[in-house]
Amino acid sequence: MRIPGLIDPHVHMREPGGEHKEDWDTGTRAALAGGVTMLLAMPNTRPSVTDRETLRSALAAAASKAHCDYAQNLGAGSGNLMDAASLAPYTGALKMYLDQTFGTLKLDNMYDWMRHARNWPAGSPLCVHAEGPSLATAILLAQVYNRPVHLCHISLRSEIELIRAAKERGIPVTCEVTPHHLFLSTADIPSIGLGRSEVRPRLSSPNDVQAMWDNLDVIDCFATDHAPHTLAEKNGENPPPGFPGLESALPLYLTAVSQGRLTMDDVITRCVTNPRRIFHLPEQPETYVEIDPAETWTFSAANTFTRCGWTPYEGYRMTGRVTSVTLRGRVVYKDGKILSTPGTGRNIRPALPE
């Protein structure tokens, strides 16, 4: 069965500054193995991508290493207001952090939220990490400044219900949900392990997970929030938040399709059609993923390409598997092997001028 290449609008590549966890080479290999042919990279690297120089170096790393197509997102900081808007054409989206996560990009000053929401071009995507009460603020920014706002990794019943109400009133918000907020809950923490379960937003209650399924029509995108940290870090004193997700996401969706919980159309809409529209992404000609929807197999970190070396889905029985991936007419992944070379992936935005 042939499906379009997936688009993942929320991926952490960790380069620069966290290459022991992942880099553009291993991260985009993982993407292809998971049927993802285009991704947007988040800016909370070390240093964060917040200006022309850091954007240039992130794009240079991507250009030399990426195996799939990509764009690099820019971080909203307190000091890059004017610079950010001028870089809009060359970035995937602006990412604004209203709540704490991994990295240093959390914005505490409400003026900064207001200024970025007003200044960032309305025709360029704005993604917001906002949980609980600050989600209401993010929705209000969309309404007050009459601009699209994409709400990252929604995980709570209250959040998805508020988004439904906002959409019903015509407020221009869209949202994404991660596979771990669809397929895992607090009930899985004992088996995953306490440190390894650290993720932002946290794993939610079974009731919240059910709310995602009950409000599937409100969910615009499935996004992995692939956020690799090594097993040693996850098992250590201060386990950093984040799960790898690129290689397990499509198998989880296909398994849900085999169980009748999702349709293939549900998956394609949220992993291809909607992200392409929301983030103004180009079509990828002659790009597709061959899947065997009936193959049952066991997912294991031992067979993944991510550098982080673990998965919260160890030992999961999956139904449905990626057999090959073709990117712009070239077979880049087949039967568990990456066939592309680093640098095969293209920046889908215009090149940053010298």
Residues at the interface with Zn ion (CB under 5 A): 225
Taking CB atoms, the residue at the shortest distance from Zn ion is: 225
Choice between 8 and 225, CB closer to Zn ion: 225
Minimal distance, residue 16 CB to Zn ion, in Å: 17
Minimal distance, residue 225 CB to Zn ion, in Å: 4
For 63, the token pair is 């250009």
Choice between 157 and 226, CB closer to Zn ion: 226
Cβ neighbours for 139, distance < 8 A, ≥ 6 positions apart: 149, 151, 162, 163, 166, 171, 173
Distance between CA atoms of 38 and 178, rounded to whole angstroms?
17
Choice between 87 and 127, CB closer to Zn ion: 127
Minimal distance, residue 245 CB to Zn ion, in Å: 10
Contact, 222 vs 253, CB < 8 A? yes
Task: Give the residue among 13, 105, 21, 10 at the shortest CA–CA distance from 58.
Answer: 13
Choice between 159 and 225, CB closer to Zn ion: 225
Choice between 43 and 345, CB closer to Zn ion: 43
Minimal distance, residue 44 CB to Zn ion, in Å: 7
Choice between 201 and 320, CB closer to Zn ion: 201
Choice between 243 and 333, CB closer to Zn ion: 243
Minimal distance, residue 15 CB to Zn ion, in Å: 15
Distance between CA atoms of 276 and 323, rounded to whole angstroms?
24
Minimal distance, residue 102 CB to Zn ion, in Å: 8
Contacts made by residues 203-209, CB under 8 angstroms, sequence distance 24+: 204/155, 204/156, 207/157, 208/155, 208/156, 208/157, 208/181, 209/181, 209/182, 209/184, 209/185
- Residue 221 pairs in a beta bridge with 176
Minimal distance, residue 110 CB to Zn ion, in Å: 22
Measured CA to CA in angstroms, residue 43 lies from 52, 81, 95, 333 at distances of 13, 15, 7, 27
